Amino acid sequence: MSRNVPSPTIRELAHRLLAYEGARENDEKVNVLAFVLVVDKLRRPLVTLAGLAGFRSLLARALTLAKTQTPGLEGAQIEPDGSLTGLGDNEVQIEEPGAILVAQLLGLLVTFIGEHLMLTLVRDAWPDLPILDDGILEKK
């Protein structure tokens, strides 16, 4: 397996996070894509952990890796505050590229801080998402 392709477990976690955020009622953020919500939720603890520059670097690397795997993220850019812009308005077309971006971000976190700490960050951001302690996703 390529070093730039996250594991199936990480990809499954990314899909689960996107499904969770996509299913939530977001009246004030109706037009926000699920993967933007996921990245925003991860941004808070990661800025605390690595600073804004560290988060932006991590997200930039994840975006670069995701762009090599999918054509749906060409216009995506990272703003100085770490938010994503330049994304398509059609959620159907951006859903899988968004999952790839989130999986790349989670994969990089595993590389730099380890699976346990990455899962701790995910559990803190999504306390209702079932995840087993050994890193295997709990199936509902």
State the pLDDT at residue 139.
Answer: 52
Torsion of CA 108, 44, 59, 110, to 10 degrees: 0
Q: Residue 4 in contact with residue 68, Cβ under 8 Å?
A: yes
Going by pLDDT thresholds of 50, 70 and 90, the confidence category of residue 74 is: confident
DSSP state of 138: P
Evaluate if residue 17 carries a pLDDT over 90: yes
Evaluate if residue 11 carries a pLDDT over 90: yes
Mean pLDDT of 10-28: 82
State the pLDDT at residue 133.
Answer: 56
Mean pLDDT of 45-74: 92
Mean pLDDT of 4-8: 85
Q: Residue 38 in contact with residue 92, Cβ under 8 Å?
A: no
Spell out the domain ranges in the chain. Answer: 8-125
State the pLDDT at residue 1.
Answer: 41
CA-closest candidate to residue 59, choices 138, 139, 50, 27? 50
Q: For the segment 91-140, what is each residue's pLDDT rounded down to a tens digit?
A: 445 668 889 999 999 999 999 999 999 999 999 999 988 775 555 555 54
Distance CA 134, CA 90 (A): 36
Q: Could you write out the DSSP letters of every residue in 10-37? A: HHHHHHHHHHHHHHS--GGGTT--HHHH
